[in-house]
Amino acid sequence: MSPKPKILHLCGQNEGDDPELSRMADRFDIEVVQNPIRAFLKLCREDFAGVYVSAQHADHLRGVARLLQNELILQSMPDGVALIDAHNTILWGNAKLQEWTGQQDIVGQHFYTLLGNPEILGPDFGPFSTALATGSPSTTTLRCPANRFFRIHAAPVIEGSGPPENLIVTIHDVTDEELQHQKLAAIHKAGADLANLTTDELFQMTVEERIELLKSNILHYTEHLLNFDVVEIRLLDKKTNRLMPLLAVGMEPEAVERKLYRVTEGNGVTGYVAATGKSYLCDDTTQDPLYLEGCRGAKSSLTVPLVLHDETIGTFNVESPRPRAFTEQDRQFLEIFSRNVAAALNTLELLSVEKVNAAVESVEAIHSAVALPVDDILIDAVNVMESYIGHSPDVVERLQRILRNARDIKQVIQKVGQQMAPAEARPSSLVEAPPTIRGLNVLVVDADDAVRVAAHNLLERFGCIVETAHDGGECLKMVRNFQCGDCYQVIIADIRLPDMGGYDLYMALKQEHEQIPLVLMTGYGYDPGHSIVKARQAGLKHVLYKPFRLDQLLSTVEMVAQEFHATARAS
């Protein structure tokens, strides 16, 4: 005996006996449900000959019809969709959810178990209970086995005035998005770690060792994070416009040694990128007129600029033996990493400059501390020497030796400082010093200790050899007993000294030497004894008005020294 066809009867909870339904009972199996959702689920899973709904519940039928119509749409959606109950049991799921989980029979399974008991990443760590309790949708992200990520959205199914019992859950695959986010975070962390050195490491490592560490870190992250095996980094030499190799792995030796310049034509992709500041993706090296062979057999390349403070300082190039090996996402990742590389290179350069400056400042501090005491030794020595002129030659020789040794002390300090921090390693000064003033012997005469210390600091920074005196008498003795009868190339003196004025000093010096390289210093409008006017009338050429700028001081020193040497050659 064949089974009777089934009829699904959708009715209300308090609906009484229906005479029509009683007449159908002899020919059909009647299955009663009181919920449109339950009716939808049964229609999806079982075969029914028809659906019977009384006239007073026609809206239920329309609801089921809509659900069945939507079911056809949900089955073809690119996202997973499931209907679950309050126990997280799947009541219905679409084809995409079956595909992702690899199971055809997903009804009746626990939602989280079906997805491999994933880790809930938030922001809502109980999305289903939240949606049922609040009657509002909730969203969270799940990390599933095999490093897959799903973003789920749980919306409660509202029926009547009672609390919701079911949830519609949509599942969106965000694996690529999450992996990209993780890679970006890893790239930023890698960038922060590129030149991350502790204080102890900084002072234990030379500049070359730090550069090698940076190169090693760049290579490590390029290979293991970005998955690029062939790498070339070049840095721009601003003076020559040449792109100098910093790091090359997998490149042919002749390619590494190739001279490339920041020019759009004739210098390959690297020169073009450096000149334009734009990344360049070469999908097929055999068809690209800009490409110059770097890695033997390379079929594609990606080159991005190294950018620091919106300025291109070099290039970062990767190559592959596969055509079209690099994507737009690769370009974005490499650009981000390259900015970190540029920042790391700048950090190491600043650290190098900082260490150089620290050494220079230490040397200058030592020199400042001994400069005036050594000057006092010189002054005392010439005072005693003049007292012994015409007396014991042995005493005079000893005093002259003291003068030489005292001067040598300062020279030794300067030489040690240059060895600790060579001048070319120091950051360029805001004031460019004339190269001709290096090695000039300068005597500064002023009663103020601060002025004499400043003279040492300012002029010796640019290579002058500075000695000082307190007054005119000491100045004359220093000039008379300067090295082997020579004279200072520049003498700078205040117009008001404790023992004489500027004019008197000028005239006294002229008795010692015919050509006196004297510069008088005075404040604007301050010359009560008319020293400057009288000295100018007697032949003085140069005056510095306080407060003067450093560039004015340097240019005056250069001018006086040039005039002094020109006169000496002429005579």
Secondary structure, 3-state, 17-73 = CCHHHHHHCCCCEEEEECCHHHHHHHHHHCCCCEEECCHHHHHHHHHHHHHHHHHHH
Give me the pLDDT at residue 151, please: 92
β-pairing verdict for 441-445 and 490-494:
parallel
Q: Which residues pair with 535 in a beta bridge?
A: none
**Amino acid 491: pLDDT:** 94
Mean pLDDT of 541-566: 85
Q: Is the pTM for the entire model greater than 0.95?
A: no
Average pLDDT over residues 192-207: 58
Highest averaged pLDDT of the listed ranges 82-96, 292-306, 408-422, 510-524: 292-306
Q: How many angstroms separate the CA atoms of 527 and 279, rounded?
A: 66
Choose between 165 and 483: higher pLDDT. 165
For residue 20, is pLDDT > 70? Answer: no
CATH (one of 3.90.1150.10, 3.10.105.10, 3.40.720.10, 3.30.450.40) for 183-353: 3.30.450.40
Per-residue model confidence (pLDDT) at position 339: 86
Q: How buried is residue 485: exposed, middle or buried, by Cβ count under 10 Å (0-12/13-18/19+)?
A: exposed
pLDDT at 50: 61
For 139-151, the DSSP string reads: EEEEEEGGGEEEE
Q: How far is CA 461 from CA 88, 182, 456, in A?
A: 78, 51, 8
In the chain, what is the greatest distance between 2 CA atoms, to the nearest angstrom? 153
Q: What is the DSSP letter of 77?
A: -
Nearest to 400 by CA among 460, 456, 480, 476: 480
Packed helices 449-460 and 550-570: angle between N→C axes, nearest 10 degrees: 70
Q: Sign of dihedral through CA atoms 481, 487, 489, 495?
A: positive
Strand ranges for 268-417 from DSSP E? 280-282, 300-308, 311-320
CB 38 within 8 A of CB 51: no
Sheet holding 300-308, edge to edge: 260-261, 242-249, 230-237, 311-320, 300-308, 280-282
Task: Calculate the alpha carbon distances from 139 to 109, 120, 430, 499, 571 in Å.
Answer: 21, 11, 58, 90, 95
- Residue 280: per-residue pLDDT: 95
Instruction: Report whether pLDDT(422) > 50.
Output: no
What per-residue string of b and e applies to 133-147 under the rule 16 or more CB within 10 Å gives b? eeeebbbbbbebeee
Average of per-residue pLDDT across 255-265 = 93
d(CA 472, CA 239): 48
Strand pairing report for 311-320 and 230-237: antiparallel
Q: Which superfamily does 354-570 belong to?
A: Response regulator (3.40.50.2300)
Topology, domain 78-173: Beta-Lactamase (3.30.450)
Please name the residue that has the structure tokens 């004894």: 529
CA distance 57 to 9: 11
**The residue type at 365:** A
pLDDT category of residue 68 using cuts at 50, 70 and 90? very low
- Write down the pLDDT at residue 420: 52
- Cβ atoms of 307 and 352 within 8 Å: the answer is no
Determine what percent of the chain is predicted with pLDDT higher than 70.
70
Measured CA to CA in angstroms, residue 191 lies from 85, 194, 226, 456, 511 at distances of: 47, 5, 12, 43, 69
Q: How would you class 389 by CB atoms within 10 Å of its CB: exposed for 0-12, middle for 13-18, buried for 19 or more?
A: exposed
Q: What is the pLDDT of residue 260?
A: 95
Burial class from Cβ neighbours inside 10 Å (0-12, 13-18, 19+) for residue 17 reads: exposed
Element (H, E) at 518: strand 518-523
String of b and e for 176-201 (b: at least 16 CB within 10 Å)? eebeeeeeeebbeebbeebbebeeee
- Domain chopping of the chain, boundaries: 1-75, 78-173, 183-353, 354-570
Distance CA 296, CA 380 (A): 75
- Do 78-173 and 354-570 show the same overall fold? no
Give the number of other Cβ atoms within 10 Å of residue 309's Cβ: 8
pLDDT, position 221: 74
Mean pLDDT, range 4-18, rounded to an integer: 62
What percent of the chain stands above pLDDT 90?
Answer: 21
> Model confidence over 23-35: pLDDT tens digits?
666 676 767 666 6
Token pair of 377, please?
A: 């030794």
Pseudo-torsion of CA 427, 433, 435, 441, nearest 10°? -120
283, pLDDT greater than 70: yes
Structure confidence at residue 428 as a pLDDT band (50, 70, 90) = very low
Structure tokens, 89: 């049991």
The answer to whether the peptide bond before residue 427 is cis (omega within 30 degrees of 0) is no
User: How far is it, in rounded angstroms, from Cα 152 to Cα 79?
Assistant: 10
List phi, psi (to 5°) of 149.
Answer: -125, 135
